[in-house]
Structure 1
Amino acid sequence: MKTSALFVGCMFFVAGIVSCRSSQKNMEGFSVDNELDYCRSQAELTLSALPSVDKIPNSIDNGSTEWNYASLGSWTCGFWPGILWYLYEDTRDTLWEESARKVTDLILPFAYRKARSHDSGFIMMTSLGNAYRLTGDRSYRDGLLSAADSLARLYNPKVGTLLSWPNMVEKEGWPHNTIIDNMMNLELLFWAARNGGDRRLYDIAVRHAETTMRNQFRKDHTCYHVAVYDTVDGHFIKGVTHQGLTDDSMWARGQAWAIYGYTLAYRETGDPRFLDFARKVSDVYLERLPDDMIPYWDFSAREISSAEPRDASAASITASALLELSTYVADTDSSAFYRSKAVAMLETLSSPAYHAGTANSAFLLHSVGHMNRNWEVDASISYADYYYLEALVRLKRLESGRSVLANL
């Protein structure tokens, strides 16, 4: 599979192969290699059907087979090239590298624009970050450093966090707002500080994590989606939701961002406070999960009805994070606990209930983008696929005795 010619052909034939592999997998049980095989087959279908390189897969509506596309510079535009980079890492097939480069190079100019929101980390680390990690191309490194400097301009030293949504200052009356998703974007700042950027980027990331830990969580370690701060003296005003069910409920993807975010904060700092907190926000999530390990879009939604949508994206994010977290926990039993939960999540996501299979060319079904606006409800979404693939790649590394993180 070294030339693009192999992507051209009958999609029904490839879909049949996927179906056969899925049936074989169900008979044999969960297998990382089988799941990676499945992801490659699905990505082949998507890649062969794209009308042009600037059409970036974003989501597929429930019941449809057609991708909706992400615009360049939007917060989800990095996930598709990130998927291509992970497939290249796993296979070393230059076709995946060539395809990934084409999309990543379209995103690269956006690394030099003024940050419009917190989303620079999502956009850049998934695309340019994976590209630099796997190729060493300094153009990607330079882009990441520029994007980190731009993101840091959203930092408010009085508050101690990055401003997430500048447009919400007037729209919602939130003077300085920080969403829990922003924990993910600290990775860009940490990375830049380790790769030639200013030390202040590290300090900003640490302060943001500390301030968020202090203010954005309730006593039971569930998180508010949005923390609102005063810009005069920086005090915490209130916690609210934007995408969750209520201000006091646990929005599933938000808690998943917290689990992943504090795990990476510990990775980058070695600060035991962050490890302890990563475990606490993980434990409350795990304690409240349904038996099949896939959360409702909000943990309080099942009180409304058992028919409320599940969120495979939250499960994918959490599975990837827990695999990493399991390697930082010194206690053997606790380490095995987190890893087993991650594997259980992947097993369910890899079942016919959540595999897209022949329904469409995504990896997974049943994710929720924005329930309150009826956007991408019970849909296939690119970031669910990205973190699902990342989790599989991480598990494969662990099973082969390597570090959960790439040594590249």
Structure 2
Amino acid sequence: MKRTFNLFLALTFTALNAIAKTKDDPSPLWFKKTTEIIHFQLNKAAQTYVPGKNPRSVNPDGTVRLAGITDWTTGFFPGSLWYGYELTGDKTMGEEARKFTLALDSIRNIKNTHDVGFMLFCSYGNAYRITGDKTYLPALADGAANLYARFSPTVGTIRSWDFPWLHYPVIIDNMMNLEYLYWSADQFDKPEYAKAANTHASTTMKNHFRKDYSSYHLVDYDPKTGKVLHKGTHQGVTHESSWARGQAWGLYGYTMCYANSKNPKFLTQAENIASFIMNHPRMPKDKVPVWDFDVHNALDTAELAPRDASAAAVIASALLDLSTQVKDGKKYVDYAEEILKSLSSDAYLAKQGENHFFLLKHSVGAFLYNSEIDTPLDYADYYFLEALKRYAEIKKLEI
């Protein structure tokens, strides 16, 4: 009897001690577990892959699709390593991030795409932000100049691609790369860069969005007059559908544009896009959208409606940023937290050693082109990490 009582006291003391420790440390268990997996996976990935040939996704045959120097996604893996370094404090990961970043130096010479923003600012930009090492600045300066050179005052936008079958294409994704111009305007004393970014955002707000604040994927302009020639959603179900990642790009873009310009129209636009996404009747309960909100029977037909964790990660990161731009951002933090908890669950987060060392499962690149369907994606991981970092800052968690 005495032995049983002593065992009871010991178990009670252990439980109370655990509760006390939990109260002292505000980091929730799901966040801690996720950070541990991130630490393991990113370290293994850095040991597995070669700088300049970064992991992009997984092919249907199970092999890894690699991103070379000219691939639009090539900056995301180095950027993920930088965020991983911030979240874990692992100096080795910081050293790996530097190696994978410097391997992309020649991107500074690329002039035929707006994607230099993704390619350089996610890698070199984070490198400079974290380390303050001026070694990273020349490449950033050259890339920003090339991005700005794609701006047309006549059209009022930055040209996305140079495809010969389109006149002057501008995609909603382009909103993401305006951050590179805003930052470069301050860093390199180029106010014209910020002016171009503001003009692009205003023109896109006018021509890309429908009355319900959903967005087209692409608008093609007449380069001589600036007239809209065509609107479409080439990665969506139809031209009038709401491609999930496209909606995420818009939300993120206008939140960021307001943070840099303080133009109240951009904040209103961001909040309206957020409302469209958060209140959409086809948003699943776990807040991870299907690849297009307008897939028929999206919530019932898994074959036609795979989830897009990349869209969810971008939305979470954007909402957390938006929460800091408004008077009462709690609803945005709460919604983003639900997304992050879902992405951190076994349904989406890889186990240690699995998933070719990517973090998230179940993203969609381009469904209609049968490209990267229900697979890991490097940019899903990148924005997931960014969202976790923003969440930790808002919640004042120990990282």
TM-score (norm 2): 0.88
| Deviation readout 1:368-406 (Å, 9 max, x if unpaired) | 01111111100001100111111111111111189xxxx
Partner residue of 2:215? 223
Partner residue of 1:31? 30
Instruction: Within 5 Å, give how 1:138-287 maps onto structure 2.
Output: 138-167=134-163, 170-171=164-165, 174-287=166-279
2:383 paired residue among 374, 382, 387: 387
Opposite residue 155 of structure 1, the aligned amino acid is F
Aligned 8 A contact 2:39 2:88 in 1: no
Aligned 8 A contact 1:354 1:366 in 2: yes
1:306 paired residue among 289, 301, 304: 301
Aligned 8 A contact 1:320 1:387 in 2: yes
Aligned 8 A contact 1:296 1:302 in 2: no
Partner residue of 1:355? 349
Opposite residue 243 of structure 2, the aligned amino acid is W
1:96 paired residue among 93, 96, 100: 93
Aligned 8 A contact 1:367 1:378 in 2: yes
Q: What is the rounded CA distance, in whole Å, between the counterparts of 1:53 and 1:157 in structure 2?
A: 38
Partner residue of 1:323? 320
Q: What is the rounded CA distance, in whole Å, between the counterparts of 2:197 and 2:128 in structure 1?
A: 21
The answer to which of 280-289 and 210-219 deviates more is: 280-289
Q: What runs of 5+ residues in structure 1 fail to find an aligned partner?
A: 1-27, 403-408
Opposite residue 378 of structure 2, the aligned amino acid is S
Aligned 8 A contact 1:356 1:362 in 2: yes
Opposite residue 76 of structure 1, the aligned amino acid is T
Q: What runs of 5+ residues in structure 2 fail to find an aligned partner?
A: 1-26
| Deviation readout 1:281-332 (Å, 9 max, x if unpaired) | 11101111121101110001143652121100000011011001011111x2
Partner residue of 2:332? 338
Q: What is the rounded CA distance, in whole Å, between the counterparts of 2:241 and 2:297 in structure 1?
A: 11
Partner residue of 1:80? 77
1:400 paired residue among 389, 396, 399: 396
Aligned 8 A contact 2:358 2:381 in 1: yes
Aligned 8 A contact 2:156 2:199 in 1: yes
Opposite residue 371 of structure 2, the aligned amino acid is W
Q: What is the rounded CA distance, in whole Å, between the counterparts of 2:338 and 2:296 in structure 1?
A: 21
Deviation at 1:62, TM superposition (A): 5.7
Aligned 8 A contact 1:61 1:380 in 2: no
Partner residue of 2:118? 122
Partner residue of 1:69? 66
Deviation at 1:354, TM superposition (A): 0.8
Partner residue of 1:371? 367
1:54 paired residue among 52, 55, 63: 52
Opposite residue 338 of structure 2, the aligned amino acid is A
Aligned 8 A contact 1:73 1:107 in 2: no
Deviation at 1:198, TM superposition (A): 1.5
Q: What is the rounded CA distance, in whole Å, between the counterparts of 1:156 and 1:204 in structure 2?
A: 9
Deviation at 1:96, TM superposition (A): 1.1
Partner residue of 2:130? 134
Q: What is the rounded CA distance, in whole Å, between the counterparts of 1:39 and 1:275 in structure 2?
A: 32
Count of aligned residue pairs for this structure pair: 365
Q: What is the rounded CA distance, in whole Å, between the counterparts of 1:140 and 1:115 in structure 2?
A: 19
Q: Secondary structure at the match of 2:301?
A: coil
| Counterparts in 2 of 1:97 and 1:359: CA distance versus 1, 3 Å | closer
Q: What is the rounded CA distance, in whole Å, between the counterparts of 2:189 and 2:135 in structure 1?
A: 15
Opposite residue 121 of structure 1, the aligned amino acid is G
Partner residue of 1:25? none
Q: Secondary structure at the match of 1:220?
A: coil
Q: Secondary structure at the match of 2:103?
A: helix
Q: What is the rounded CA distance, in whole Å, between the counterparts of 2:349 and 2:239 in structure 1?
A: 32
Identity rate, percent: 40
| Counterparts in 2 of 1:240 and 1:86: CA distance versus 1, 3 Å | same
Q: What is the rounded CA distance, in whole Å, between the counterparts of 1:293 and 1:302 in structure 2?
A: 18
Q: Secondary structure at the match of 1:313?
A: helix
Partner residue of 2:22? none
Q: Secondary structure at the match of 1:273?
A: helix
Opposite residue 376 of structure 1, the aligned amino acid is E
Between structure 1 and structure 2, the one with the greater Rg is: 2
Q: What is the rounded CA distance, in whole Å, between the counterparts of 1:350 and 1:114 in structure 2?
A: 36
Q: What is the rounded CA distance, in whole Å, between the counterparts of 1:248 and 1:30 in structure 2?
A: 42
Aligned 8 A contact 1:160 1:211 in 2: yes
Q: Secondary structure at the match of 1:178?
A: strand
Aligned 8 A contact 2:362 2:374 in 1: yes
Deviation at 1:203, TM superposition (A): 0.5
Deviation at 1:35, TM superposition (A): 1.3
| Deviation readout 1:26-70 (Å, 9 max, x if unpaired) | xx97532321121111112222322x3333111124683x42210
